[in-house]
Amino acid sequence: MVCPRCILVVKMELDRLSINYTNVDFGEIDLANELNEKQMNELESVLNELGFEILNDKKNKMVENVKILIVKLIHEQDNNLRINLSDYLSSNLGVEYHSLTSLFSEIEGYTIEQFFISQKIEKVKELLVYNELTLSEIAFRLNYSSVAHLSNQFKKTTKLTPSEFKRLGNHKRKSIGII
């Protein structure tokens, strides 16, 4: 779960299944009590239908935590992208960045940096669709060194310039957390 709507949907399903929980947050469900096998199977089935999976493996949990931190950083913390990504992840997860990058690439098949860039581009698309900020303001907000750098990365990722994206009304956006 990497967006507020995901959390809402999961809460609704937990309520529907009469599963008591104390908290539902990005990538985590804190249950009020342990589930029996039948409840666990039901929950797993419902979550799978919704495109979620229960992660019990430590490596997968760590990768999911990396994604959650990046998504929160980009999509919720305006103007906070001036921090060093490796320091941000390492300090929040208590793991050396080199270990995180190796694990992430092993599990996902792409790098943390690629995921970070894809999420920044999705945020750029969102801001372009809203049409409230200039490209210069977007570049500044997302900590691009220049409008040219943002435009080059946008074109490399989407095959369109930001102007073409706006003009074509090509507002296809990927779900948060997807590369």
Indicate where the chain has its CATH 1.10.10.60 domain(s). Answer: 115-168
Q: Tell me the CB-side half-sphere exposure of residue 52, using CA atoms within 13 A.
A: 24
**pLDDT single digits (tens) 110-130:** 999 999 999 999 999 999 998
**Domain 115-168 fold:** Arc Repressor Mutant, subunit A (1.10.10)
Paired strand residues for 24: 29
**Regions of the chain short of the pLDDT cut 70:** 1-2, 77-80, 170-179
Residues 6+ apart with CB under 8 A from 56: none
Paired strand residues for 31: 21
Residue 140's alpha-carbon distances to 10, 71, 131, 144, in angstroms, are 35, 18, 15, 6
Per-residue model confidence (pLDDT) at position 17: 93
Q: Is 171 helix (H, G, I), strand (E, B) or coil?
A: coil
For the chain, percent of residues with pLDDT exceeding 70:
91
